[in-house]
Structures are given as C-alpha cells and as structure tokens.
Amino acid sequence: MLVTGAAGFVGAHLVAALERRGHETVAVDCFTSFHPRDLKERRWSTLTGKSSNDVLNIDVCDVEATSNPRLAVPFDAVVHLAAQSGVRYSERHPETCVRSNVLGTYSVLALASRLDVPRVIYASSSSVYGDTSGECREEDLSVAPTSLYGVTKRSGELIARAFWERQGLRSVGVRLFTSYGDWGRPDMAYFRMIVAALTGTEFPLLADLSVRRDFTYIADTINVLVALVEREGDFPDPATLVNVGGGAPCSLQALKDVVQEITGRELRMRQQPPTLGDVTSTCASTQRMTELSLPIPTTSIVEGISQVVEWITPLISDARDWVAQSE
C-alpha cells in the first residue's frame, strides 16, 4: 500500500506497524523544511530499520510528479498523511498550508481514482471543529474552523466526498486529536515542555493554562489506522469521517504538572501572545469509533508522557536543537 508523509511523525510509526504485520508499503515523503531533516531521517531509520533512500522523494502537490511509474501499481489502499500541519504555521505561511493540504489532498485522491484504489484513508484534524464547548461529533455538519489550517483540512474532507460522488472513490477521513509520542513534532507543546524542563530553559506559553486538548498517544492513533487499513468490507458511508481521540481532554496546567512530576524538574514559563485561530478545548466523541468496532484510545497522559520522557532524555541535546529549528 502507499503511504504519503511516510517520514513524518504518524507516517513513520504507521509504516513500521504495517510492515511488522506483513504489509508491503511504498513510502513517499518530500522532506520539507518544516521540521529538521535530521529528525525525519533518524525517525524513519530508527522506527522502520530502513534508509531514507527507501523513501520516494515526491512532492504530492505536484500532479505531474504523482505520475511516477513507481506509483502506478495496484495498491490495496492509500494512506495519505502528507500535509502541512500546525495552526500557528498556517497563520505565518498560509500559501504553503493551502498548497499542501488542499492541492496535495486533491492530487493524491486523483491518483487513487486513476488507479482504482479500493479505499483511501487520509488525515484530517480536530481543528475542523473550531471552538466547541462539548464533545466533537462527526455528524455535526455545522463545523466552523477558526484557523486557516482547520479550513484547509475541512476542504480536504469536502474534496474527498466530491471524489466519491463524481468518481466512486471510497475514503475515510480520520480527524486526529493531538497525537503525541516518541519521535514526535518539536513544535508541539508537550515536546517543548519536556525539553524546557530537562534543560532548565523557559517554555513559551502561547495560550492560557486552562486550554484543554484531547491528547492521543501515538500507539493508540496507529492502532486505529491499522484497523482501518485491515478492515474488510465497505463502510456505511463511502466518504466517512471518524474521530481519533479518547474523549479525555487534559488542560495545559495538568500537562505542566505531569511533565514536572515525571522529569522531577521545575518547568518555568514565559507568557507570549496567543496563537491566532487556536481553540480553547477539544474533546473527541468516541461513538463512531465504537460503532465501527475501532479501538478506542486509552493511554493516559501520565503513561504517554512517561514514554516520551524515557525516549527523549538520552537525546536531549538533539531535541533541544530540533525545538530551536522548529520555532
């Protein structure tokens, strides 16, 4: 099967999991400069045991590039994870975000349609919901994203439905809720908090400590994606959407307390202006995951952060550089 964004955080973990289960994968990634290349290459080689030369360096936003003969094979499925992530980044670099998340999604769906791929699984985001006070439910058609990033992800969902209605391409959009874990993104709060605590530096706080996120440990995210890949039969909705989150949000204050407890260090903070378009709370409804017999994320924030601290501690010098390069 084809996996785009394969050297990214979720992508590399997914390729490793799929190959452990006997699936053959074709990995695509164009190694953008959003995150340090060193991090992406080391993540890929450590998790998959392969060289970065095994990754096809293709920009999926380039429609012509997706005509590469190595992509013209009868894939069982396409998992499209290539994207420009980050609410804050989308406000600074809107054109890049639109190109990656809208044109890139269209290009991959068009490729899958040409190849008659039975199913496409693509990454959406909890950001499509905007600011909500309760559970985020997939059947809510009145979603109103507050960030450009969320708008681009919602656009991808609508493009996927158009491909079903016009060309019969079946798809599943996974609305990911703050995936975190080892080999994760150094621009995210949990990663920066841990690095700040371990190095005695200040953490730049870009939100109120009461802000809540439905943190989802990477192993739980991967379990859902693998279940979707291996699921037999069609979904009731041929262009379905499904949350990937446990429905147990955690405040930034609680996250700070967990980081301090596990590292045994004080976490100093420096208040900065909030990120435009960021939301105050996310909480996934797990009802659709239950209806589709998908595994519900259950890893607690204490368990997950403990795993990250164990991974990052021997790499702290590198991790500090990765954070600096991602600012």
Report pLDDT for 63. Answer: 86
> Cα–Cα distances in Å, from 1 out to 20, 122, 290?
14, 13, 26
Supply the range of the domain harboring residue 105.
2-325
The number of domains in the chain is 1
**Phi and psi of 173, rounded to 5°?**
-95, 120
Residues of the chain with pLDDT > 90: what percent? 89
Structural contact between residues 132 and 281, judged by C-beta atoms closer than 8 angstroms = yes
- Residue found under tokens 């005695």: 200
Residues 176 and 123: their CA atoms lie apart, in Å, by 7
Taking a C-beta distance cutoff of 8 angstroms, is the pair 90, 147 a contact?
yes
Yes or no: say if 95 and 143 are a contact pair by the CB < 8 Å rule: no
pLDDT (tens digit per residue) in 111-132? 999 999 999 999 999 999 999 8
Per-residue pLDDT tens for 235-264? 989 999 999 999 999 999 999 999 999 999
- Which CATH number does the domain housing residue 120 bear? 3.40.50.720
Catalytic residue set: 149
Residues 18-73 pLDDT 10s: 999 999 999 999 998 888 999 999 999 999 999 999 999 999 999 888 989 999 99
pLDDT tens across 127-156, in order?
A: 999 998 889 999 998 899 999 999 999 999
Helices (H) and strands (E) in the chain, counts: 12, 12
Question: Taking a C-beta distance cutoff of 8 angstroms, is the pair 86, 149 a contact?
Answer: yes
Q: Which of 144, 105, 146, 140 is nearest to 122 (CA)?
A: 105
pLDDT higher at 225 or 207: 225
